Amino acid sequence: MNDNKYSGASEAELGFLKEIVRMLPAGLTVQDAQGELLLVNDVAAAQLGMDGSRPSRDLAPRQEACRQALISGRAVVAEEALHDGAARQVLLTTHRPVRFDGRELLISASSDITEQKNFEDQLFRSAYFDELTGLPSRRVIEHRATGLLAQGRASERFALAFLDVDNFKHINDYYGHAVGDALLVELSKRLGRGLRESDMLSRISGDEFLLLLSPIQSQEEVAEFMQSTLERLTAPFFIDNSEVFASTSVGISLYPDHGSSFETLRQNADIAMYRIKNDGKGSAAFFDSSMEREALARMKIEQSLRQAILEKRFCCAFQPKVDIRTQDVKGIEALVRLRDDEGVIQAPGSFINLATELGLIDELTHLVLAEIVKSIDLINETFGAEATISINVAAKQAGNPEFMRSFAQALDDTGFPQRFMIEVTEDAFVAKNHFQAEILPMFRKLGVAISIDDFGTGYSSLSALADITADEIKIDRSFITDIHKRPRNQGILRAIESLSEALGMTVIAEGIESYEELAYLQAATKIRYAQGYYFSRPIFLEELKLATPISSEARASVTNRSTQQNRQGYSRANGYRR
């Protein structure tokens, strides 16, 4: 500070003021109209790199702000970003012009807001960018698309593609969530290849992405691009010493052909994607009006299903498991059926998958158990008090410890848990959710048996079967149909039978529908038990109520009566099993 310019103050006063300014927590500078710095306190010197502690900063933007403040004669507040390599420091500075002792001076006070700005940037990124992949969020791509729509030029076409990773839950279950997250990162990189600056890829939820292609010339151009993108995804992903294969189903809508708003275009692309999911996955389809009609029909079924669960309009049918040597009933399988609004019985093919997808399957399973408990006396009178009662549990449920704990408790609350057998498909055993280690012990403790349902249609192998702890294995109908004239299936059946016998598991043949199939099993195998329309169609509770109690010796006549009905033309379509 040039003390001779302030001769009116004593040396002591000036020294005291300088010490106060030096110790201020904010950076403070004073400069004249020519830009000469008259005073710089310690904090300002450190901020501006004037104390030798760091390289000098580029102060040109600051000097320009100071010049403008002096010219205008008004205070200026500005954020100043000062960079030191990759590091960034942000200052909030107030430049205030003052007139002192006949001179125009500028006082600048700066506070370090770097931490606050970093936090704001973090909030911005979390709001507008996906934390895992770094891709823009749905909000960003919606803003971009809405901006294109606002231009109102239908001649400038664009495409919106909805992408969903196929079987991602299974990948998560089998390999673990860390591999699943890494897969999404690598997948986003492959999806992003070949995009122009005007295009945008966004991750909008777990395994769902949106892709905006703008501008486009034709549908054929988009189809060609999406085909090349899907081909890139066919190569395996090498993650955490695992070779992971993944595919993506894609639905595409075009502007203005398929909508004039972002939400309409997104919904129509979503509808097209679900068509691909239902048709086999791993490819792309453009939206058309027929898909919209299907989506409306699906929505109607969904609403009806929710209402049916609310009103408990579900009922049970029971199909016996029969000893093919004696015709005695070994057990029964509870099969859920839906009564529609008109009272017509609907087979599970029309609602089970949707119930699973909508998260309603847990409630539905508990409803089945409640129906069994309510009718247990009637069940015992008809099929015998020793018959096991099988209930189907979806693989998704089997991998959910929370549901399985609640279901185990519900079985225990019946007072006769040892009567029950849980039927799960084989993929529940091989997934990394460790069904055997985490879930199975709960049911073993209660005396509940475990059955492997539909064996041979999923991830089955003889080595996998050797590692499975179960009481019963049900060989899928696809292996049993016309078994008497299919030598290869006969060989597979013998292998499964031998291994199951060695492991102490009971074998049940599913889907017996002809005398020839039964005769082959009786003559050429050791299989004791079977289930199918040849013995009995599923029997509803209403039919049980009409029947008179029967003795254990005559109980097999239930299946005989049903067999006669089946031979008179009753088809599987009237009540095929879940």
Residue-wise pLDDT for 500-545, tens only, equals 888 889 999 999 999 999 999 999 999 999 999 999 889 887 777 6
The percentage of residues in the chain with a pLDDT greater than 70, rounded to a whole number, is: 85
DSSP state at residue 548: P
- At 115 the pLDDT is 86
Residue with tokens 């001769």: 7
Average pLDDT, the chain: 82
Q: Which amino acid is at 467?
A: D
The rounded distance, in Å, linking the Cα atoms of 403 and 359 is 11
The rounded distance, in Å, linking the Cα atoms of 138 and 141 is 5
Per-residue HEC secondary structure of 276-312 comes to HHHHCCCCEEECCHHHHHHHHHHHHHHHHHHHHHHHC
The rounded distance, in Å, linking the Cα atoms of 160 and 211 is 6
Backbone angles phi, psi at 492, to 5 degrees: -65, -40
The rounded distance, in Å, linking the Cα atoms of 36 and 33 is 7
Lookup: tokens for 484? 């008497």
- Through-space distance between the first and last CA atoms of the chain, rounded to whole angstroms: 91
**How does pLDDT run across 22-64, given as a tens digit for each residue?**
778 888 888 888 778 888 888 888 887 776 655 556 666 677 7
Angle at 536 between CA 578 and CA 360, to 5 degrees: 20
The rounded distance, in Å, linking the Cα atoms of 144 and 405 is 46
Residue with tokens 């549901």: 403
- Indicate the pTM of the whole model: 0.57
Q: Which residues contact 228 (CB under 8 A, 6 or more apart)?
A: 194
β-pairing, 103-112 with 27-32?
antiparallel
The rounded distance, in Å, linking the Cα atoms of 173 and 179 is 10
Report the phi/psi class of residue 177: left, alpha or beta, with left for phi > 0 and alpha for psi in -120 to 50: alpha
Q: Which residues contact 473 (CB under 8 A, 6 or more apart)?
A: 451, 452, 455, 465, 496, 500, 505, 506, 507, 508
Q: Which amino acid is at 223?
A: A
The percentage of residues in the chain with a pLDDT greater than 90, rounded to a whole number, is: 37
Q: Compare 351 and 418 and report the one with higher pLDDT.
A: 418
Residue with tokens 């016998």: 501
Lowest mean pLDDT among 322-336, 392-406, 493-507, 543-557: 543-557
Residue with tokens 């460790």: 434
Q: Is the pLDDT of residue 4 over 70?
A: no
CA distances to 90, 91, 116 from 111, rounded to whole Å, are: 9, 5, 11
Tally of CB atoms within 10 A around 200: 20
**450: nearest Cα among 460, 459, 461, 439:** 439
Asked if 147 contacts 166 with a C-beta cutoff of 8 angstroms, the reply is: no
Query: Residue 190: helix, strand or coil by DSSP?
Result: helix
Residue with tokens 């279901």: 407
Asked if 465 contacts 500 with a C-beta cutoff of 8 angstroms, the reply is: yes
DSSP state at residue 573: G
